[in-house]
Structure 1
Amino acid sequence: MPSWVPHGARLYLAHTEQGSSIRALARQTGCHASTILRRIRQFETRRDDPMVDEALRRLGCRVAARDETGPLDQETAMTAQTKFDHKDSRTAQASEEVGGDVAGVTEAQLTAEAGRILRRLAEPGAVLAVAAQMEKAVVVRGDGAADPTRTAVVDRAVAEAMALKGWIACDAPGRLARYHITKAGRAALGCLLAEAENRASGFADAQAPFSAREEVSAPRRVRYSANESPLLALARRRDRDGTRFIPEDLVRAGERLREDFELSQMGPRVTQDWSRFLTTAGGGDPAGGHARGFEAARRRVEGALHDLGPGLGDIALRCCCHLEGLEKAERRMGWSARSGKIVLRIALQRLKRHYDSLGEAGGMIG
């Protein structure tokens, strides 16, 4: 059983799959029987959610059947093991067809992917779309006035784990389910952002390792609002003639840079100083060359920032990647008030031209 599985889900599986009684579970955990029953019923009612139901079904196949009433004879034990192996093999085959088994998701993988996906879901108008029998789940964002924009893609197994932990929820299940971030998901996102900030500041060794449990409610401080990025807030502004100050194609260019930046942070070089190479010669390989994964993403970010150059690259890095507000960026760079939005729009125009020159390699990764 993975370590990230909630305690209530463990009780539910022990009761339904292993046949443990409510009183036996209460004695093992030191809780009252009514408390155990309430936790089990919570997960029973959540099985209307398709991803929660699938996650519990696959985790249940990992739990070996046992008899609480007494020792099994050899024939009964062999029969139970044969049924379990057959059930587990069918689940493994279905997992390969649908895109991974939720039981194979590790704590580190869930923490890394959840920080990326929950941050996208915290943006206004963002939902996680999951279709039946699809390997991936897609985060899309839209305000109803324009076509939805795809901002992230995640494996279905990770999305099932997030649904099981209660970080995302679906109000209207169907063949195409739309999930939104919950209050517990926003709390978990705040803990993830605080941990990332402490790690970048050098305080990670003095902190206890993050465990995204629902009961964690430690005070925290976040440098910026997780609900939206400065680029999205600026994109809603309009000129006197009613046109958007930053068109949708420029927003997509900024989101493309942010996507590569977040992918590059998943590697071991998470504390890299991105401002160092802006004053060095050479621009790296903008398309990533033969590198893979986070290393290729880091090279793509370097290539884009080198193409922008000092000034334009600084404002794009601060606002699109580090999500700094325009006023803070203006103060730190010594610019006059209200000049940052003009420079940022010029940087996005240059960034769009950079990605257009890459052809298909300049599109979103998902």
Structure 2
Amino acid sequence: METPEGTIEIDLKESPLRWLASRKDASGVPFLSPHEVEAGERFRLDFTLAGLSPKLGSSWQAPVSRGSAGGHGLDYADVVIAARQRLRHAETAVGPDFASLLLDVCGFLKGIEEVEKARGWPVRTAKVVLKLALAALARSYGLRGEAQGPARSTGIRSWRSAKTSELKTG
């Protein structure tokens, strides 16, 4: 995934969100809308950029303290701070209950069944609550499923002036 901060590699097969997005209901409609998936992936990207992902091994590379991230003229620390600020804003916008679920599923990539078991929720509950959390997250990011506006425009209907219209018709 190419971002202003640089290239981030995300394995979509490991994402519980992508798995859930591939599921459809009885009528064939996807369980998650595209804007809900986009919101979850944006949250995951910020989680990754913020450096909150657990490290599974040792890194023998020298830590980056100065220099640009991804060749875009951004300092590495600025990228991390900006990602953490966006995460904090998203968590505040959706509330603490939804935020913890989003962190588990979109950030730490915990599966739906694992979340339900850890929280003592009934089967299929996490799926429904996650959909609500993603809808709230999408609203906080300004993402919508469709363009919304008045049913009928009250603005300009023609670029021609009244004189031009009269000359052509008369």
TM-score by length of 1: 0.30
Deviations, residues 55-74 of structure 1 (Å, cap 9, x unaligned): xxxxxxxxxxxxxxxxxxxx
- Taking only the aligned residue pairs, the percentage that are identical comes to 38
Residue type at the aligned position of 2:121: W
Deviations, residues 198-220 of structure 1 (Å, cap 9, x unaligned): xxxxxxxxxxxxxxxxxxxxxxx
Which residue does the alignment assign to 2:44?
A: 258
Deviations, residues 74-131 of structure 1 (Å, cap 9, x unaligned): xxxxxxxxxxxxxxxxxxxxxxxxxxxxxxxxxxxxxxx88x41xx2x33xxxxxxxx
Superposed counterparts of 1:64-103, under 5 Å: none
Ranked by relative contact order (alpha carbons within 8 Å, sequence separation 6 or more), the top structure is 2
Task: Provide the rounded CA distance (Å) in 1 between the counterparts of 2:88 and 2:40.
Answer: 14
Superposed counterparts of 1:18-33, under 5 Å: none
Task: Provide the rounded CA distance (Å) in 2 between the counterparts of 1:251 and 1:233.
Answer: 11
Shift of 1:332: 1.3
When the two structures are aligned, how many residues end up with a matched partner? 116
Is the counterpart of residue 231 in structure 1 residue 17 in structure 2? yes
Task: Provide the rounded CA distance (Å) in 2 between the counterparts of 1:352 and 1:306.
Answer: 13
Helix, strand or coil at the partner of 1:292: helix
Shift of 1:270: 6.8
Shift of 1:330: 1.0
Flag as ranges the 4+ runs of structure 1 deviating above 2 A: none
Residue type at the aligned position of 1:313: A
Is the counterpart of residue 309 in structure 1 residue 95 in structure 2? yes
Shift of 1:303: 1.1
Task: Provide the rounded CA distance (Å) in 2 between the counterparts of 1:228 and 1:236.
Answer: 13
Q: Do the aligned partners of 2:101 and 2:130 also contact (CA within 8 Å) in 1?
A: yes
Task: Provide the rounded CA distance (Å) in 2 between the counterparts of 1:239 and 1:231.
Answer: 16
Task: Provide the rounded CA distance (Å) in 2 between the counterparts of 1:313 and 1:270.
Answer: 16
TM-score by length of 2: 0.62
Q: Structure 1 regions of 5+ residues with no counterpart?
A: 1-112, 124-226, 272-290, 358-366
Which residue does the alignment assign to 1:85?
A: none
Task: Provide the rounded CA distance (Å) in 1 between the counterparts of 2:53 and 2:108.
Answer: 13
Task: Provide the rounded CA distance (Å) in 1 between the counterparts of 2:114 and 2:100.
Answer: 13
Superposed counterparts of 1:116-155, under 5 Å: 116-117=8-9, 120=10, 122-123=11-12
1:326 aligns with one of 103, 109, 112: 112
Shift of 1:292: 2.6
Is the counterpart of residue 296 in structure 1 residue 86 in structure 2? no
Structure 1 residues 270, 259: closer, same or farther in 2, change over 3 A? closer
Q: Greater share of strand residues, 1 or 2?
A: 1
1:246 aligns with one of 28, 32, 48: 32
Helix, strand or coil at the partner of 2:123: coil
Task: Provide the rounded CA distance (Å) in 2 between the counterparts of 1:345 and 1:270.
Answer: 23
Residue type at the aligned position of 1:250: E
